[in-house]
Chains A and B, each alone.
Chain A
Amino acid sequence: MFKGFGSIFYKEVIQISRDPLTLLLMLVVPMIQLMIFGYAINTNVRDVRTAVYNLDPGPLSRELIDAFQNTDYFLVTESVGSDDELNQAIVAGRVKVGIKIPPDYSDRLSMGRQATVLVLIDGSDSNIATQSMTVSNSVGLNKSLERLIQQQGSEPRPLIEIRPKMLFNPDGRSANFMVPGLVAIILQMITTLLTAFAIVRERERGTLEQLLVTPIRPFGLMLGKLVPYGLIGCFEACTVLTVMRVIFDVPINGSVILLLLLSILFLFTALSIGLLISTKAQNQVQAFQLAFLIMLPSVLLSGFMFPQASMPVVLRTIGYVIPATHFIEIIRGIVLRGATLMDLIFEVATLAGMGVLLLALSALRFHKKIA
Chain B
Amino acid sequence: MDVAIEINELTRRFGQFTAVDRVSFSVERGEIFGFLGPNGSGKSTLIRMLCGLIAPSEGGARVAGFDIQKQIDDIRQNIGYMSQQFSLYQDLTVWENINFYAQVYGLKGQRFRQRREAVIDLTHIGQFTDRRAGALSGGWKQRLALACALVHEPSIIFLDEPTAGIDPVARRELWDLFFQLSSSGITLFVTTHYMDEAERCARVGYIYNARLIICGQPDELKRFPDVTPEGTKWAEVNCPSTTIALAELKRASFIRSATIFGQSIHLLMDSNEPLASIVKTLSATGIDGAEVTPARPSLEDVFVTLTKKFAENGGSKT
Contacts and interface: CB of A to CB of B under 8 A. Distances in A.
Interface of A: 3-4, 6-8, 10-11, 14-15, 18-19, 205-207, 209-216
A213 B81 contact: yes
Nearest to A211: B104
B91 interface: yes
4 closest pairs, A vs B, by CB? A7-B103, A206-B87, A210-B87, A213-B81
Contacts of B85: 206
B247 interface: no
Contacts of A211: 104
B103 A6 contact: yes
Interface stretch (B24-32, B71-79, B218-226, B264-272): B71-79
Interface in B92-132: 92, 96, 100-101, 103-106
Interface in B32-91: 51-53, 73, 76-77, 79, 81, 83, 85-91
A206 B82 CA distance: 11
Judged by DSSP, the binding face of A is helix
A189 B246 CA distance: 63
A207 B101 contact: no
Nearest to B74: A215
Contact of B91 (A3, A19, A209): A19
Contacts of A4: 104
Contacts of B77: 215
A33 to B, nearest CB: 26
Given A206-B86, A209-B87, 18 more contacts: A4-B104, A6-B103, A7-B100, A7-B103, A8-B104, A11-B96, A11-B100, A14-B92, A205-B90, A206-B85, A211-B104, A212-B53, A213-B53, A214-B104, A215-B73, A215-B76, A215-B77, A215-B104
Judged by DSSP, the binding face of B is loop
Contacts of A212: 53
B87 A15 contact: no
Contacts of B87: 205-207, 209-210
Contact of A207 (B73, B81, B89): B89
Nearest to A210: B87
9 contacts: A10-B103, A14-B96, A15-B91, A18-B92, A206-B83, A206-B86, A206-B87, A215-B76, A215-B106
Contacts of B92: 11, 14-15, 18
A209 B53 contact: yes
Interface of B: 51-53, 73, 76-77, 79, 81, 83, 85-92, 96, 100-101, 103-106
Nearest to B106: A215
A213 B91 contact: no
A206 B96 CA distance: 18
Most buried by A among B73, B79, B91: B91
Contacts of A7: 100, 103-104
A209 B87 CA distance: 8
Contacts of A6: 103
B44 to A, nearest CB: 10
Contact of B88 (A14, A207, A214, A215): A207
A213 B157 CA distance: 11
A214 B73 CA distance: 9
A4 B88 CA distance: 16
Most buried by A among B53, B77, B79: B53
Nearest to B148: A210
B89 A15 contact: yes
Nearest to A215: B76
Given A14-B92, A15-B89, A19-B91, A213 B52 contact: yes
A205 B89 CA distance: 9
Contacts of B90: 205
B89 A11 contact: yes
A11 B106 CA distance: 14
B91 A214 contact: no
Contacts of B106: 3, 215
Contact of B76 (A15, A19, A213): A213
A7 B106 CA distance: 9
A10 B104 contact: no
A8 B89 CA distance: 12
Contacts of A216: 104
Nearest to B100: A11
Contacts of A214: 76, 101, 104-105
Contacts of A15: 89, 91-92
